[in-house]
Structure 1
Amino acid sequence: MKKGIFLLTASALLTACGGGGSSSDDSSSNDISKQKAGIYTGSSMIGTVTGYSVLLITQDADVVLVSDEAEMLFGTASESGAKMNLNTRYYMDGAGSDWGARVTADLTYNNATLSGPYSGFDETGNFSLIRQSDLYERSISLSDFAGTWTDTDGLPYSINNAGIIASVTDPATGCTATGDFELETVGYNEFEMDFTTTGCYDVAMNGEWEGYGFFSDENGTNSVINAGLLKNSGDYFTLVELTKQP
């Protein structure tokens, strides 16, 4: 794994990063228990370099981890007793031959913490993460998405009470996007995000995208949408941060 320090961050929706053709084709048929699924934050270490991490593991075994260097791990989790194994692929703008490389983690759950080693490329490291139960264990509804939101470049997005994103065009990329949100598990702060892009200046960015995310509370309860998405072909990813407007 590249020496990125893992920390939740986000770039604007449709400010996407591209790479090779490897896709995240890993799948898992094992659900994750409600006790161990969740939003985790904490530290990562490669050698003597320490950073911070934000990790989402859904109850459907989906995994998204995002870094402050705009890296993303995207894949699945499997649970066996106290063990939580992550089977993901790595995405980062400029990753070159590392694009889509497999990164695995063999973590142990103990009293709301996940810790243990991970490996990818020619490097190894360790995670020590704490489950944020107050953030994860709360009900959300599609009506929480309703309203006007802006990305980090100030581009507005209109979302209705059914979680449907109205058509919006990003002048920086030329992409016109439509999409929607779907709730993952009733009573928990996790959702799936899907959208379709057309008309992009880079035609390779046109297509279907899918990812997972959660609400955070920077400006009040459920005031920010955070998500990581991968284009179905596996050649682009994007990190999402949308802030609700008054």
Structure 2
Amino acid sequence: MQYRHEVKVLTKLEEAKANLEAPELGTESVRTAKMKIVEGLKLRQNVEYVVESSGVGENNVLRSLGGKMALYLMDFKSENTSKKYFAGFNRWKSFINEHGFSDLPAEPVHVALYLTFLIDKHSSPSVLQSAIYSIKWAHELNGYIDPTSNSFKTLLLESCKNWNGKLVVKKDPVDNIMLRELCSIYQDSSDLLVIRDLTMILIAYAVLSKYTPRDDFRALGFDTGFHIDQVHEVRHGRSI
């Protein structure tokens, strides 16, 4: 019986995914997809259970609001965000169900094992972050305790940044030595485009720094008549 129920839920999730990935995502397709997600996440079932447990009987007018409440809960995130989180939750569900455990509600240690699995697959920190948000989203919708709010998640995410994060290589700042070397490379060039580009580079550098490129202009083989006072004028926003 439990197996048939899990197959039914998975079928609803797959149907919702198909509706969300339709080429022309109209209002009706979005509504249909939301209905499938509500059923796939057992959201309506859980909302009705909570309403009934609060003492609201079948004949009470409040009982009819349970179904609408489930749909409105789906709208607390934008359509694109819900689509992204739903896909992430679907991946988590397939993983944990394959090993015979519950996806909703989930045990924190099982989520931590899933994150470990992703790190082991060389997934990037952004993939882990997406998985965490997706699982958190599904649990918040159903009123369950968030299984990602523990130290395991935080530490594994930091570990992923160390293992699978991109190494940031900072570039050396441009200085006048680099500019002199650049000018020396093209000092014999007669190409006006090259001279123009070098001139623009030197002027821009002079305006943004305290360096005056007069000597480097002369290294190019021409005299611009570019004086120190003119550099100061441009640096202070005045025309020359």
Q: TM-score, normalised by structure 1?
A: 0.24
Greater per-residue strand proportion: 1
Q: TM-score, normalised by structure 2?
A: 0.25
Greater per-residue helix proportion: 2
Larger Rg: 2
